[in-house]
């Protein structure tokens, strides 16, 4: 069984397309198809369910993916052992929550790439559940998210620190300069919210439910940057992690609404698999990101 065939299989599984895998690997599509078919003949199983141009992993494919990722990781570990002290190189795969992707913390990524030109970084944006699932399946090497502490045995927390979730609105609006308000006073306002299922929106909904309160969202949007712009323009009130609002608060475009009976926070976490080897390059990148969190 050739390792290059397994690497091609991993890439096709990640991208859900033979043609996309061929483009990423700089192969002809026929080469990708031949390598996958070689694996299928060798193992006497179908690794993918083919639906038109799309492919999804079969049950056997899902099993093989875990083993293939282990073999790829072992190869990287061997290379790292014998080239210890050399410059980090190769592809690193990192998953981010969208709200962290929209934050100033991403400056750590550009600084890392500038420092290590031989590294290629693949960033995936997803929800907490999506990123944890990808981490378990070996589709990302590390995940950076904001949520309650993750306690799953397959996951190891490399870094954790709390971050406030704050209510905010346009500067100069009705809440600017006011003292603390109660959550019930905000339920009649125009709310701009992230998508249902978003972790800090769920946190707000839980707090409302405890008090028997409800609100109707006037706008639901999945983009953190767009939500901030809309709130700054006076479209309504919202809530986000404090780190996403740092620049807007400092510039005076939005102002925090202090809510005296609803203090919320979640943990910024850098997660890796508890079962797979973490390359020195990935460990270094996680350290750079953690340094940005600590330096705020």
Does residue 124 lie in a domain region?
Answer: no
State yes or no: pLDDT of 85 exceeds 70.
no
Q: Tell me if 292 is assigned to some domain.
A: no
Q: What is the pLDDT averaged over residues 281-292?
A: 87
Last residue of some domain: 84, 107, 126? 84
Residue 136 lies in a domain: no
pLDDT for residue 62: 92
Separation between Cα atoms, residue 103 and residue 105, nearest integer Å: 5
By the 8 A CB rule, do 120 and 90 touch? Answer: yes
Q: Say which CATH number the domain at 6 has.
A: 1.10.10.10
Total number of domains in the chain: 2
DSSP 90-149: EEEEEEEEHHHHTSGGGHHHHHHHHH-TTEEEEEEEE-HHHHHHHHHHTS-SEEEEEESP
Within a domain: 191: yes
Can you give the CATH number for the domain in which 244 is found? Answer: 3.40.190.290
Average pLDDT, the chain: 89
* Tokens (6 digits) for 97: 């929550």
CA dihedral for 230, 235, 240, 244, sign (positive or negative): positive
Residues 169 and 260 in one domain: yes
Q: Is the pLDDT of residue 102 over 70?
A: yes
Last residue of a domain, one of 59, 84, 109: 84
Q: What is the DSSP letter of 180?
A: -
Q: What is the pLDDT of residues 154-189, one digit of tens each?
A: 899 999 999 999 999 999 888 887 889 999 999 999
pLDDT at 86 over 80: no
Residue 94 falls within a domain, yes or no? Answer: no
For 47-62, write each residue's pLDDT tens digit. Answer: 999 887 789 999 999 9
Give yes or no for residue 84 having a pLDDT over 60.
no
How far CA 294 is from CA of 25, 104, 111, 205, 284, in Å, comes to 37, 13, 16, 29, 15
How many CB atoms lie under 10 A from the CB of residue 18?
Answer: 24
Residue 185 sits in which domain range? 162-264
Interatomic CA distance for residues 60 and 9, integer angstroms:
12
Does residue 258 sit in the same domain as residue 167? yes
Q: Three-state SS for 216?
A: coil
Distance between CA atoms of 157 and 274, rounded to whole angstroms?
A: 9
* 105 vs 100: CA distance, rounded Å: 7
Asked whether residue 24 is domain-assigned, the answer is: yes
Counting DSSP H helices and E strands in the chain, the numbers are: 11, 11
The last residue of a domain, from among 58, 84, 110: 84
- Cα three-residue angle 156-14-87, rounded to 5 degrees: 65
What string of DSSP letters covers 3-51? HHHHHHHHHHHHHT-HHHHHHHHT--HHHHHHHHHHHHHHHTS--EEEE
pLDDT tens-digit readout, 243-266 = 999 999 999 999 999 999 999 999
What pTM value is reported for the model? 0.73
pLDDT in tens, 134-162: 888 778 899 999 999 999 988 999 999 99
DSSP 154-177: TEEEEEEEEEEEEEEEETTSTTTT
């Amino acid at each position: 069984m050739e390792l290059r065939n397994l690497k091609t299989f991993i890439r096709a599984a990640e991208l859900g397309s033979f043609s996309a895998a061929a483009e990423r690997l700089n192969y002809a599509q026929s080469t990708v198809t031949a390598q996958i078919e070689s694996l299928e003949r060798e193992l006497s199983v179908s690794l993918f369910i083919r639906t038109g141009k799309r492919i999804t992993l079969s049950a056997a494919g899902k099993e093989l993916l875990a083993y293939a990722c282990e073999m790829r990781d072992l190869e990287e570990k061997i290379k790292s052992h014998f080239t210890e002290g050399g410059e980090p190189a190769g592809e690193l795969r990192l998953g981010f929550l969208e709200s962290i992707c929209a934050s100033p913390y991403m400056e750590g990524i550009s600084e890392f790439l500038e420092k290590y030109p031989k590294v290629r970084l693949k960033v995936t944006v997803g929800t907490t559940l999506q990123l944890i699932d990808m981490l378990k399946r070996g589709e990302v090497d590390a995940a950076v998210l904001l949520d309650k502490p993750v306690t799953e045995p397959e996951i190891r927390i490399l870094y954790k620190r709390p971050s406030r979730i704050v209510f905010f609105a346009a500067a100069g609006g009705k809440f600017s300069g006011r003292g603390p308000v109660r959550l019930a006073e905000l339920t009649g306002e125009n709310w701009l919210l992230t998508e249902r299922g978003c972790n800090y929106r769920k946190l707000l909904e839980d707090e409302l439910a405890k008090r028997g309160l409800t609100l109707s969202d006037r706008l639901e949007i999945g983009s953190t940057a767009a939500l901030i712009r809309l709130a700054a323009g006076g479209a309504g009130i919202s809530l986000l992690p404090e780190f996403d609002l740092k620049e807007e608060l400092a510039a005076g475009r939005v102002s925090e609404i202090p809510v005296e009976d609803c203090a919320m926070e979640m943990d910024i976490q850098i997660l890796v698999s508890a079962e797979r080897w973490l390359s020195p390059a990935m460990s270094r990148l996680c350290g750079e990101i953690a340094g940005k969190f600590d330096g705020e």
